[in-house]
């Protein structure tokens, strides 16, 4: 790309990245975990983790600007093809729990859009929810094999609308006291700084995986690094702007949640219904009834449907589009006459269906289901970020072999330490995030079910990826046998 084509400015990069990374769900889910003290947690996670993470991504993107495989290409360039395969596998397989949660989110959003409350899903049995979710998923799995270009375009617009609604929520909530003079804050002592200080105990540290999950995904920004006019100066400015916007949105959004929901008595259904209930309350304060909630529910329904369709196909294409036959068996790379990855879709269908049906065995109600699925995703999804930091560590070990227009840290030893810190922090958050977020004494069966599934799910998914290269070798040996016989 010639210099005169590099027209993006730092504020443009920051805005694009903000749209990629942020959403109202990040505020609601973390408030449900920590209450109003999450304000302090947001500030800490942004300073200690998110800013270095985004800047690390910037250097990797700038160094390997011609690489099309993203994280797996970074790993291959800095280490081996085998590790690059594992990076690609991890990127794909962490989407399995994510896909399993989407049908439930669609049901919840539809319930609010149609009935104006969360009763539709809460009145269903766990078996009914699981079976309906399975039907929804299998339907979109089938439709994805036919191509869903129109739906993805609509979903992109819905995603932008969701982003606008997230910002609108903060503006409306902050302005509500001025409009509704009689409004009382749900959380007491919001003017006291002590209200915002977390209790740094074991229970607190089991919730930080949700914060890591919320600010993750910065690797999506990497293609824009070298599109700026001056990467060395403009990209870090864009990332600091991104961190500032995320920080303001997170802090003000959490304060807004504290105004609407008591921090010392968080509703059990907040993760499931919090965003819809918040817009419903704001609609009442502004005299528009359920209008804001209905707009949000409809937008979220379309957005969730599109995310489901897109996340079935896109990660699979990344894994199998240029898969190395040494690590991925022929049967998994098989395509139909129309180019559909037939067995890839089949494997996706099997794994996601298992997770969708698992709650029948040990989850008692809808709120437990939403909390478990959200926490499971916060444990599994950040596993892909580990490869980003691994690649950055290896990049700094071979510092002299690579050139980059933008460098996060010019000292390779400090760069290696920064990569190690982010790697260790992510792993620490994932491991502690496995601890269930419910009272053991109240429901020991559900507690053990969640603990075991939180531990076994990532292990099984990674082990499956380790088995495939052995199957690929066996396939290769079989194809070589006839040649040997002829000789």
296-324 confidence digits (pLDDT tens): 999 888 888 888 888 888 788 878 877 78
Is 413 a domain residue? yes
What pLDDT was estimated at residue 18? 84
pTM of the model: 0.91
Query: CA angle 50-53-56, nearest 5°?
Result: 150
Q: CA-to-CA distance for 230 and 9, rounded, in angstroms? A: 8
Is 4 a domain residue? no
Is 316 a domain residue? yes
Residues with Cβ within 8 Å of 412's Cβ and at least 6 positions away in sequence, in order, are: 396, 397, 399
Contact 60, 221 (CB under 8 A): no
DSSP track, 455-473: HHHHHHHHHHHHHHHHHHH
Structure tokens at 453: 């599934």
For the segment 418-477, what is each residue's pLDDT rounded down to a tens digit?
A: 999 999 999 999 999 999 998 888 889 999 999 999 999 999 999 999 999 988 888 776
Containing structural domain, residue 218: 10-473
Is 2 a domain residue? no
Is 485 a domain residue? no
What pLDDT was estimated at residue 269? 94
Is 487 a domain residue? no
Query: What three-state secondary structure class fits 8?
Result: strand
Is 3 a domain residue? no
Look at the chain and report how many structural domains it folds into.
Answer: 1
What pLDDT was estimated at residue 150? 61
Q: CA-to-CA distance for 392 and 53, rounded, in angstroms? A: 10
Query: What three-state secondary structure class fits 228?
Result: strand
Q: Which of 153, 154, 141 is CA-nearest to residue 102?
A: 141
Point out the residues of the chain with pLDDT beneath 70.
1-6, 68-69, 147-156, 477, 479-487
What pLDDT was estimated at residue 27? 95
Question: How far out from the chain centre does Cα 118 lie?
Answer: 24
CATH number (domain holding residue 469) = 1.20.1740.10
Q: CA-to-CA distance for 230 and 70, rounded, in angstroms? A: 22
What pLDDT was estimated at residue 248? 92
Phi, psi angle pair for 105, to nearest 5°: -65, -35
Is 5 a domain residue? no
DSSP track, 362-374: H--SHHHHHHHHH
What pLDDT was estimated at residue 1? 45
Residues with Cβ within 8 Å of 431's Cβ and at least 6 positions away in sequence, in order, are: none
What pLDDT was estimated at residue 486? 45
What pLDDT was estimated at residue 359? 94
Structure tokens at 211: 């914060």
């Amino acid at each position: 790309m010639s210099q005169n084509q590099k027209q993006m400015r730092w504020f443009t990069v920051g805005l694009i990245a903000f749209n990629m990374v942020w959403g109202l769900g990040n505020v609601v889910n973390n408030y449900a975990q920590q209450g109003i003290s999450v304000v302090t947690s947001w500030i800490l996670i942004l300073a200690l983790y998110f800013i270095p993470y985004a800047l690390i991504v910037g250097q990797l993107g700038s160094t390997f600007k011609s690489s099309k495989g993203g994280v797996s290409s970074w790993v291959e360039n800095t280490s081996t093809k085998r590790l690059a395969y594992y990076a690609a596998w991890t990127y794909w397989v962490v989407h399995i729990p994510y896909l399993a949660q989407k049908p439930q989110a669609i049901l919840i959003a539809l319930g609010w859009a149609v009935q104006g409350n969360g009763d539709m899903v809460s009145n269903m049995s766990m078996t009914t929810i699981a079976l309906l979710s399975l039907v929804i998923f299998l339907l979109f799995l089938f439709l994805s094999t036919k191509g869903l270009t129109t739906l993805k375009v609509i979903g992109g617009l819905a995603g932008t609308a969701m982003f606008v609604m997230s910002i609108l929520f903060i503006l409306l909530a902050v302005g509500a006291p001025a409009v509704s003079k009689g409004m009382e804050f749900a959380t007491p002592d919001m003017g006291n700084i002590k209200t915002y200080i977390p209790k740094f105990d074991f229970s607190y540290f089991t919730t930080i995986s949700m914060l890591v999950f919320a600010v993750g995904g910065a690797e999506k920004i990497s293609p824009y690094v070298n599109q700026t006019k001056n990467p060395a100066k403009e990209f870090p400015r864009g990332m600091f702007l991104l961190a500032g916007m995320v920080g303001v949105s997170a802090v003000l959004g959490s304060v807004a949640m504290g105004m609407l929901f008591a921090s010392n008595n968080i509703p059990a259904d907040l993760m499931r219904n919090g965003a819809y209930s918040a817009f419903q309350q704001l609609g009442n304060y502004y005299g528009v009834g359920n209008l804001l909630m209905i707009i949000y529910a409809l937008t979220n329904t379309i957005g969730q449907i599109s995310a489901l369709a897109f996340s079935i196909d896109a990660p699979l294409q990344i894994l199998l589009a240029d898969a190395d036959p040494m690590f991925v068996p022929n049967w998994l790379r098989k395509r139909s006459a129309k180019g559909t990855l037939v067995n890839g879709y089949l494997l996706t269908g099997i794994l996601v269906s298992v997770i969708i049906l698992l709650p029948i065995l040990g989850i008692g109600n809808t709120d437990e289901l939403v909390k478990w699925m959200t926490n499971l995703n916060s444990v599994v999804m950040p596993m892909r970020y580990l490869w980003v930091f691994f690649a950055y560590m290896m990049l700094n070990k071979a510092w002299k072999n690579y050139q980059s227009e933008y460098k996060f840290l010019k000292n390779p030893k400090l760069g290696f330490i920064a990569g190690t810190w982010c790697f260790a922090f992510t792993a620490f958050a994932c491991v502690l995030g496995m601890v269930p977020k419910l009272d053991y004494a109240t429901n020991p069966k559900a507690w053990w079910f969640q603990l075991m599934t939180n531990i076994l799910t990532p292990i099984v998914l990674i082990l499956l990826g380790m088995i495939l290269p052995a199957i690929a070798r066996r396939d290769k040996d079989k194809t070589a046998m006839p040649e040997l016989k002829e000789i």
